[in-house]
Structure 1
Amino acid sequence: MTDNQPIDPVTIEIIRNAVISAADDMNATLMRSAYTPVIYECGDCVVALLDDEHRVLGQSSGLPIFLGNLESCTAATEERFGREAWQPGDVWILNDSYVAGTHLNDVTIFGPVFVDADLVGFTATRAHWIDVGSKDPGGSMDSVTIFQEGLRLGPQKLVEAGQEVTAVVETIAANVRFPYPTRGDMQAMIATIRTGQVRLEEIVRRFGTATVRAARDEIFAQTERMEREVVARIPDGVYTAEGALDNDGIDLSSPVLIKLQITVSGSDVEFDVTRSADQTTGPVNCGAAQAVSACRVGYKLLVSPDVPGNGGSFRPLSVKVRDGSVLGARPPAACQWYFSHLGLLIDLVAKALAPALPDQVAAASYGDSMVVMFTGTDARSGLEYVSLEATLGGWGAWNGSDGQSALINNVNGSLKDVPIEVLEARYPLRVTRYEVRPDSGGRGRWRGGNGVVREYVALQDCAVSLWFERSVTPAWGLFGGQDAAPPEVVINPGRPEERHVLKCNGLALRAGDVVRCMTGGGGGFGDPAERSSEAVRSDLLDRYVTGVGGGQVAPSAHL
């Protein structure tokens, strides 16, 4: 077809699903080829196909916080080096926190797609590398500058004209603690790029460049029309909400304030986070690209949750971020735990718009990834190890349903925790309890979901690092619903040396020491007095609540 000919709806749908399927194939390639459990078990990764103007054609399920974010890496590379930088057979790498927005462990690998001599798009993937050479194995909970957080790579070629750039690969290998699995994950990501390139080329050759572009334009236009229709139904006005992180991990007495202002005008909506705190000494900062992504997640949860993201998504949305703020950090701000305030920001979107959308919003979730990381040397092999995982928690209730219990937080989407069997086989650890935490969800007409208890025993001397958040501002309820219980971590509970800690870096453990992690629940929705007696009875029978409150741990509520 020519550029001016209309395209039929059947072809549009075939191409729409073809690019989404291609992204799913890329994701499968990565998950099946990766070397470290944080990727192949937890799924801490995402992939996307982009068009030649850096707009999303198809994106796999993965971490929502990377929503519409991979294109910032290809666009920044082109802006720096020019359009002529893209050459067939090349693969690029980037992990700069101030470009990609994330911490240095989140490495983005991407490459151009050519059909004959024409640049038709890009394929990209991002995955968490278990170590990038930070001052502490796996990452630091107490870094105060980006230079303590590992090897920082601006956009550069990893593969040139189909040949590995040995100097770059060797430099990376020389600066990480685990070069063998790092090389393996790198090659898995390169294979993922190749899979996407093959699939996108097949689509273009099958339908022709003009048809694919026409289908793309119509898909983008459909998405924009649908989103504008939803936004236009929100009453015009200015909506605000604010919340705070406990601290930045360094100054433990100072909360980190996040302020959101949403302005709705017709079919346009603006998110303004410029009044949020200045960038902090501790590692809770992020680049502006991630602030935009968090706003997009909060927006999409309310506007188009069932529609896969594409280049037409978010056209009604604009985001204002202040340079030098905690959401728009400048070098050399530390960024290792960049996502804590992003989960808070996503919840604040629903809180701000609750008066306008009472039947669509949910109360707050437990909010943070609640990261547990063990490091040490395994006496069985003599090798150093890092075990890293997020912990599940409770989500907020909404009008018509209780919140979900034991679910990953809204930043991480399809991320999973490490299966106990894998954890115990690979590392000198034992998981002795994994349970729903009764009474941790906020009460309401609709009850907030409960958090979990996950208890570890160290089988050998090791160290634990923790990053647990939202204890000062736990998940709030809406429309009379009560707040949820905050998180809690106890080292050696019931022993004379018992201690409570939410954040720590490399805390020494002896063999036999216990780490009990308890996550918060989700907020309740509506007046608790309006909860049905049948629902209360069911909660008691299922031990979601005990009737005594206080977030007690009951040993019979096993997952």
Structure 2
Amino acid sequence: MNPITVEIVRNGLISAAEEMNAMLIRSAFTPIIYEMKDCAVAILDRDHKVLGQSSGLPIFLGNLEICSEYTERKFGKRVWREGDIWALNDTYVVGTHLNDVSVYAPIFFKRELFGFAVSRAHWLDIGGKDPGQSFDSTEIFQEGLRLPPTRVVIEGQINPDVVDIIEANTRLPKGVIGDLKAQIAAANVGSRRIVELLEKFGADVVEKAKEIIFDQTESFERAAIEAIPDGKYSAEGYVDDDGLGNGPLYVKMTVAVEGSDIEIDVTEASDQTLGPINSGKSQTVSACRVGFKYLFASDKPVNGGSFRSLAVKVREGSFLACTSPAAANWYFSSLGLQIDLLARALAHAIPNTVTAADYGDSNPVIMSGTDPRSKSIFIDFECHVGGWGAFRGQDGVSALINKVNGGLKDIPIEVCETRYPLRIREYSLRSDSGGAGEWRGGCGINKTYEMLSDQCAAGFWWERSVTPAWGLFGGKDGKPPSVTVKSSLSGEIKCLKANGIKLKSGDLIECRSGGGGGYGPPSLRDRRAIEEDIADGFITVEGAIQDYGYKPTP
């Protein structure tokens, strides 16, 4: 087949996904989508294989197809009708927390099913016992409205019964229904662009190009794996706890390489636990795929040819493959650890490719209550950046979102202070938080919130203190995170995980995110690089003396 045609089709599919993502972000009602971009989209073929996926949250890599696949398995192929759009958020199907809602539409061309347009986005409130999300839930029923595959649009018309159910189960009906409609609009845009592509080239040409694209992707990934010596590799680590004092929770990863095939085994993991740190199996598989993609053919987009060389083994009933009624609001804490464990396991096999560990977790803070300006409820959900690990020849990046979240962005200070009764008192680099090394780990950040409401509460879910961001080949670990609440009601509280701490106007939340691990012995770091780090604020003079044996010029 003409390679130029193949490339045009390839980019047409990716472009359709990117336009879907742009439509979703621009149409969304809540900052968690239109500012933070907590969403991802994909175009699938009729066999539920990825044709094109936009930039977004990497943790949904090769995972969005579960929605249409499960629906078809449950109801049969005849369930798909032109003009219908579905929604699904069941944790035990898609693996995520209930706030991550997938909306997907079948794409028809000349009355034949061609594929699907799917998006997943975080709804700011889906019910549950606490505003936004709970940090101490013990079962899925406390975490919000659970949707099995549900038609939200029937033959082109939005289903009012489903909308009424969703509105009755959220504290933010206007924002949530607005975000639902933004996802519906994204599905319609994706469907239209694919139909236009099919009209231009014909279904046969697109199908043939698809197979070539899939085979190319597979060959790139297999060639990268073949460069690794055959054998078994392993690494282990811990997540801190489940938010209720149970932990730490153990994860051992064993990686088997044979020719161009690789198997990742995480069956040796702690059992599912009472608190909301459990993850659905499909997200654990996705985490292994993300780690795989960071190391192998990372410059090639994800599609149906990806991960053919990868097998993942997970033990059902572990906290990485939980079963009902396990709580799973903060399912992603173990996922960042697994991504880093894969690099650690393969470090000696591919030392020029791997990085030291990053700060590991999204570090969410949820602040909610009554806004005194409007007398209405507010819910502010924010994730926090930190330090990434160093690698051969390069320091780690500072103040970057973790590997799980990829394209996630900060909510700008101006937006935060305008929309919510909050003031940001400090936002700066956390000096000396990156692990020392020949190449230094990236720095975390300092961020301080001041409450401007007498009726508000806050919850936190910060991770990676038991197993902080480790260094490689003599590099030192990054500093772990810390959170300090200065409350006029309860005094000073130091905690990494908490739920519903009552706050009043003037109270402070001081957040310190972790740094990334260093790479190589600190004694080998160039003196000029140390002095530049001091000038730039990455390290202090005291830190340079302690970590590098630096001797200031008299």
TM range (shorter): over 0.9
Match of 2:260 in 1: 267
Alignment match, 2:404: 411
Q: Which amino acid aligns with 1:82?
A: G
* Conserved? CA contact 2:234–2:254, under 8 Å: yes
3-state SS of 1:70 partner: coil
Quote the Cα distance in structure 1 between the aligned partners of 2:306 and 2:270: 28
Q: Secondary structure at the match of 1:441?
A: coil
**What's 1:422 paired with?**
415
Q: Distance in 2 between matches of 1:549 and 1:103?
A: 40
Contact 2:487 2:503 in 1 (8 A): no
Instruction: Establish whether residue 90 from structure 1 lines up as the match of residue 78 from structure 2.
Output: no
Match of 1:174 among 163, 168, 173: 168
Q: 1:308 aligns with which of 288, 297, 301?
A: 301
Which of 324, 334, 339 is the aligned partner of 2:317?
Answer: 324
Is 2:189 aligned against 1:195?
yes
Q: Quick check: 1:376 aligned with 2:369?
A: yes
Change (3 A) 1:170 1:549: same
1:20 maps onto 2:35 in alignment: no
Report the equivalent of 1:114.
108
2:128 is matched with 134
* Residue aligning to 2:328: 335
Q: Deviations over 1:290-348 (max 9, x none)?
A: 00100000000000111110000110001011111111110000000000000111010
Q: Deviations over 1:473-511 (max 9, x none)?
A: 110000000001000111129999322111110101111
Distance in 2, Cα, partners of 1:497 & 1:169:
43
Contact persistence 2:487–2:504 (CA under 8 A): no
- Change in Cα spacing, 1:550 to 1:183, as seen in structure 2 (3 Å) is farther
Q: CA deviation at 1:547?
A: 2.5
Amino acid of the structure 2 residue aligned with 1:406: A
Structure 1 residues 60 and 521, CA, compared in 2 at 3 Å: closer, same or farther?
Answer: same
Secondary structure at 1:492 match in 2: strand
Q: Is the 8 A contact 1:439 1:551 kept in 2?
A: no
Q: How many residues align?
A: 545
Structure-1 separation of matches of 2:345 and 2:239: 17
- 2:117–2:187: 8 Å Cα contact kept in structure 1? yes
CA–CA distance in 2 between the matches of 1:454 and 1:153?
36
In structure 2, what residue type is equivalent to 1:22?
A
Deviation of 1:549 (Å): 3.2
Partners of 2:488 and 2:504 within 8 A in 1: no
Q: Does 1:34 align with 2:21?
A: no
Q: What is the CA–CA distance in structure 2 between the aligned matches of 1:358 and 1:250, rounded to whole Å?
A: 38
Is the 1:485–1:551 Cα contact (8 Å) retained in structure 2? no
Shift of 1:382: 1.1
Where 2:542 maps in the other structure, the secondary structure is coil
Residue 349 of structure 1 aligns with which residue?
Answer: 342
Aligned pair 1:455/2:471, yes or no?
Answer: no
Residue identity opposite 2:478 in structure 1: A
- Cα displacement (A) at 1:550: 11
Q: Which residue of 1 aligns with 2:94?
A: 100
Given candidates 14, 39, 64, the residue that maps to 1:70 is 64
Which residue is equivalent to 1:400?
393
Alignment correspondent of 1:298: 291
Cα deviation, 1:196-234, whole Å, max 9, x if unaligned, reads 000011111111111000000000000001110110111
SS of equivalent to 2:386 = coil
Does 2:147 match 1:153?
yes
The AA in structure 1 aligned to 2:34 is Y
Residue aligning to 1:51: 45
Question: What's the CA shift for 1:551?
Answer: 13
State the SS of the aligned residue for 1:548.
Answer: helix
**Which runs of 4 or more aligned residues in structure 1 lie more than 3 Å from their structure 2 counterparts after TM superposition?**
493-496, 549-552
Question: Could you tell me which amino acid in structure 2 is paired with residue 426 of structure 1?
Answer: R
TM-score, normalised on structure 2?
A: 0.97
Unaligned runs of 5+ in 1: 1-6, 553-559
Shift of 1:447: 0.0
Q: Quick check: 1:374–1:388 contact (8 Å CA) kept in 2?
A: yes
Cα–Cα, structure 1 residues 92 and 279, in superposed 2: closer, same or farther, change >3 Å? same
Q: State the alpha-carbon separation in 2 of the partners of residues 395 and 425 from structure 1.
A: 30
Checking the alignment, whether the CA contact within 8 Å between 1:246 and 1:469 is kept in structure 2 is yes
2:463 aligned to which of 445, 458, 469: 469
Q: How does 1:199-278 map to 2 (within 5 A)?
A: 199-252=193-246, 254-278=247-271
Q: Deviations over 1:258-309 (max 9, x none)?
A: 1111100000000111111111111011111100100000000000111110
Contact 2:488 2:503 survives alignment (8 Å): no
- Secondary structure in structure 1 of the residue aligned to 2:478: coil
- Superposed CA deviations along residues 519-553 of structure 1, whole A, max 9, x for unmatched, are 0000000000000011011011111100323999x
Measured against aligned partners, the alpha-carbon deviations of 1:379-430 in whole angstroms (never above 9, x if no partner) come to 1111111000100000000001000000001110010111000000000000
Give the corresponding residue for 2:483: 489
Offset from partner CA, 1:444-466 (integer Å, 9 cap, x none): 00000000001000011211111
CA separation in 1, counterparts of 2:538 and 2:217?
40
Q: How far apart in 1 are the matches of 2:398 and 2:509? A: 21
Q: Distance in 2 between matches of 1:550 and 1:61?
A: 38
Cα distance change of structure 1 residues 496 and 95 upon mapping to structure 2, 3 Å threshold: closer
Measured in 2, the distance between the counterparts of 1:495 and 1:71 equals 48
Q: Secondary structure in 1 aligned to 2:274?
A: coil
Residue pair 1:493, 1:516 contacting (<8 A) in 2 also:
no
Deviation at 1:517, TM superposition (A): 0.2
One-letter code aligned to 2:460: L
Alpha-carbon distance in structure 2 between the residues aligned to 1:227 and 1:343: 22
Structure 2, unmatched stretches of 5+, are 547-554
Letter of the 2:145 counterpart: L
The separation in 2 between residues aligned to 1:493 and 1:384, in whole angstroms, is 21
Q: Secondary structure at the match of 2:543?
A: coil
Structure 1 distance, partners of 2:490, 2:272, is 39
What CA distance in whole angstroms lies between the structure 2 residues aligned with 1:131 and 1:416?
19
Mapped contact 1:466–1:503 kept (Cα < 8 A)? yes
